Chain A
Amino acid sequence: MKWEKDELTAFFMILPALLYVVILAFIPALESVYGSFTNIHSSFTLYNYSFVFDLYGYRPILNTFIVTASALGFQFLIGFVVASLLSKQFRGRTAFSAIFLLPFGVATIVTAVIFHDIFSSYGGYANTLVRALGGSALDWTGYFSTSLLVVVLADSWKNAPIVSLILLAGMTTIPPDLYSQAMVDGAGTFRRFFHITLPNLAPFIAIALMVRGISEFNIFAIAQAGLFPSPLLTTMTYSLFDIVNPHPSYAGATILLGFIMIFAFFIMLYRDRSARVA
């Protein structure tokens, strides 16, 4: 009897946080979706979408996918190397892990300013280095391929620590016996990585993919600060934003939401499938 009363109290303690999320996240998201299909006089229209597509075409969607895939690939590469390194014992390991974490605290816009200073075509340190190595100076943000490189480097500098941390948390859950067993059976480094580490890490890879993938779709400050001049879904939505008539930007916001939901669905599928296999 007493216990049930406690459960009710417990539920009332969660309620504020739950209501908070419903009122300030779910309802506004629905407002965006609803607003994208209506005009200022709240009558149904598809004009917002045709306006956005006439103005931008499919480039923002394609660019968002390219940036997301490139950044995820690079961050997972770094993440695996750093997590493997930090799962070992060596001198100064704690100090190194603190240094590796430092960029995590740096504001995204500060990251953008620093990488702008490095890759600027006038007064950039990257060009100093390129010239010292005998190459000729580049307009880094002037081309699609080089600006992609710059945005991936800047974003990964800030966010690879999170991927490393999640993968490291996963690696510590793998029993060391599995590895010694495999070594006795003659499995080399790469076979052990692909047959033990990777399958056992699947749930953690799914979490890291989810967390980082959603953030990459939302990549905004770095691109908006001029490191990636081609339109993305976020920078497109922001440039459409006008507080007097927000309806076209609602269409942009809804497309962004839609792609993130599709992405999240596939990650969930991967997680469920790998959970069944394991």
Chain B
Amino acid sequence: MVSEYNNPGNSKYYFIIALIFSFVILIPFYVLVIIAFAVPSQTIAAYYPSIIPTKFTLTNLMHAFSGYSSVLEAAFIKSLITATIVGALAAFLGFHASYGLSKLPVRLSSLIISVLFFSTMIPSLTIAIPISVSFLKAGLYDTALGLALAQELVVLPMTIFMITGTLQTLPKQIELQARVDGAGFFQSLYSVIFPLALPGVLAAFLLSWMMSWDEFTFAIILSPVHPTLPILIYLDSTARGNILYASAFSLIVTVPVIIITMALSRFIKGNYMSSGLTG
């Protein structure tokens, strides 16, 4: 299975295996696209739909959008606001916490990292149910802000590990130089460190944004009345049995995350993924 010796003659076999894998991975995307764009009689309304449809139409998408525009628009806006709050809060809290961690003695910082890691083990459902009761009292139930505050838990530890990774790559001398030149703690933080760490902070923002955009468990418990896009898709596919609309909305949800995933592929590394992916 693992042949670590790089025999140049093997590379064409690797290429073929990679091609087969890519083909299999792309099949579900293909199904999503043809259901959205082919005439329903050749996809979901056929008992045994053909693998390659022949008639295409835009009416599926147009019906889904027009017949449903106010609910869809509300869900879209709620998802957008929630994800943006989650991303901004993650970037702000994460950058400061990561920098703070890099300045603490190792014993204390590793203790704090353990606490953060431990928090990712708690199931979203275990947190969401008591929070829903408290949010109802506090007036945060079913609001974008309340949902964002809960979803932040999923992304915050991962954000901190990711930005810590970026900070570790910065040369120590730059900061010392700034301090020697008379910059204070915060001046060196914001005008020297922050610009250098910006790519990592931006990546953390986008990844958090994407995870909130996709999030399901907190959203269904904390915001069921005015749903976000994933919950709207869930309600359409199961409760209302409207697979065509669910597939059309799935396409809307998926397009931005595909773009973000491609943009972030340099940052999405195994080391950072080691946390914050529960629920």
Q: Find out whether the CB atom of A90 lies under 8 angstroms from the CB atom of B270.
A: no
Q: Find out whether the CB atom of B47 lies under 8 angstroms from the CB atom of A114.
A: no
Which residue of B15, B25, B231, B261 is within 8 Å of A105 (Cβ)? B261
Q: Find out whether the CB atom of B126 lies under 8 angstroms from the CB atom of A254.
A: yes
Residues in B neighbouring A124, C-beta threshold 8 A: 49
- Quick one: given A10-B103, A110-B233, A220-B216, are A29 and B126 in contact (CB under 8 Å)? yes
Q: Mark A1-31, 1 if CB is under 8 A from B, else 0.
A: 0000011011111101110110011101101
- Quick one: given A96-B18, A179-B4, are A105 and B50 in contact (CB under 8 Å)? no
Q: Find out whether the CB atom of B213 lies under 8 angstroms from the CB atom of A225.
A: no
Residues in A neighbouring B274, C-beta threshold 8 A: 166, 207, 211
CB nearest neighbor in A for B124:
A218
Q: Find out whether the CB atom of A215 lies under 8 angstroms from the CB atom of B277.
A: yes
Residues in A neighbouring B246, C-beta threshold 8 A: 113
**Which of the candidate stretches B61-69, B166-174, B197-205, B247-255 sits at the interface with the other chain?**
B247-255
Q: B149 → chain A, closest Cβ, in Å? A: 7
Residue with the highest number of chain A CB atoms closer than 10 Å, among B44, B100, B258:
B100
Interface size class of A (residues with CB under 8 A): 35 or more
Instruction: Give the distance in Å from the alpha carbon of A64 to the alpha carbon of B101 in the complex.
Output: 37
Q: Find out whether the CB atom of A169 lies under 8 angstroms from the CB atom of B32.
A: no
- Quick check: is A89 within 8 A (CB to CB) of the other chain? yes
Q: Find out whether the CB atom of A99 lies under 8 angstroms from the CB atom of B48.
A: no
Instruction: Give the distance in Å from the alpha carbon of A208 to the alpha carbon of B129 in the complex.
Output: 27
- Quick check: is B121 within 8 A (CB to CB) of the other chain? yes
Q: Find out whether the CB atom of A253 lies under 8 angstroms from the CB atom of B126.
A: yes
**Which of the candidate stretches A50-58, A66-74, A187-195, A270-278 sits at the interface with the other chain?**
A187-195
Which residue of A85, A116, A127 is within 8 Å of B48 (Cβ)? A127
Q: A150 → chain B, closest Cβ, in Å? A: 12
Residues in B neighbouring A17, C-beta threshold 8 A: 93-94, 96-97, 116, 156, 160
Instruction: Give the distance in Å from the alpha carbon of A221 to the alpha carbon of B10 in the complex.
Output: 41
Q: Find out whether the CB atom of B254 lies under 8 angstroms from the CB atom of A98.
A: no
Q: Find out whether the CB atom of A246 lies under 8 angstroms from the CB atom of B129.
A: yes
Q: Find out whether the CB atom of A189 lies under 8 angstroms from the CB atom of B121.
A: no
Q: Find out whether the CB atom of A215 lies under 8 angstroms from the CB atom of B278.
A: yes
Instruction: Give the distance in Å from the alpha carbon of A264 to the alpha carbon of B94 in the complex.
Output: 25
Residues in B neighbouring A168, C-beta threshold 8 A: 270
Q: Find out whether the CB atom of B104 lies under 8 angstroms from the CB atom of A84.
A: no
Residues in A neighbouring B133, C-beta threshold 8 A: 243, 246
Q: Mark B227-244, 1 if CB is under 8 A from A, else 0.
A: 000110110011000010
Residues in A neighbouring B268, C-beta threshold 8 A: 101, 104, 165
How many contacts A-B (CB < 8 Å)?
Answer: 332
Q: A258 → chain B, closest Cβ, in Å? A: 10
Q: Find out whether the CB atom of B247 lies under 8 angstroms from the CB atom of A113.
A: yes
- Quick check: is A118 within 8 A (CB to CB) of the other chain? yes
Q: Mark B1-44, 1 if CB is under 8 A from A, else 0.
A: 11111100011101101110110011011011001000000011
Q: Find out whether the CB atom of B99 lies under 8 angstroms from the CB atom of A13.
A: yes
CB nearest neighbor in A for B92:
A16
Q: A42 → chain B, closest Cβ, in Å? A: 13
Residues in A neighbouring B32, C-beta threshold 8 A: 110, 113-114, 117
- Quick check: is B190 within 8 A (CB to CB) of the other chain? no
Q: Find out whether the CB atom of B29 lies under 8 angstroms from the CB atom of A250.
A: no
Q: Mark B262-279, 1 if CB is under 8 A from A, else 0.
A: 100100111101110111
Residues in A neighbouring B234, C-beta threshold 8 A: 109, 221, 224-225
Q: Find out whether the CB atom of B216 lies under 8 angstroms from the CB atom of A109.
A: yes
Q: Mark A160-177, 1 if CB is under 8 A from B, else 0.
A: 001001111111001010
Q: Find out whether the CB atom of A169 lies under 8 angstroms from the CB atom of B261.
A: no
CB nearest neighbor in B for A114:
B28
A133-173 contacts to B, CB under 8 A, are 137, 157, 162, 165-171
* With A220-B125, A225-B238, A241-B129 already in contact, 20 other A-B pairs whose C-beta atoms are closer than 8 Å: A7-B104, A10-B101, A17-B93, A17-B97, A17-B116, A18-B115, A25-B122, A29-B126, A100-B22, A102-B29, A103-B28, A108-B216, A110-B233, A114-B247, A117-B32, A169-B271, A190-B1, A192-B3, A214-B278, A224-B220
7 contacts between A and B (CB under 8 A): A99-B22, A106-B257, A113-B243, A114-B28, A129-B51, A165-B269, A197-B4
- What 4 pairs between A and B have smallest CB-CB spacing? A169-B270, A13-B100, A105-B261, A10-B103
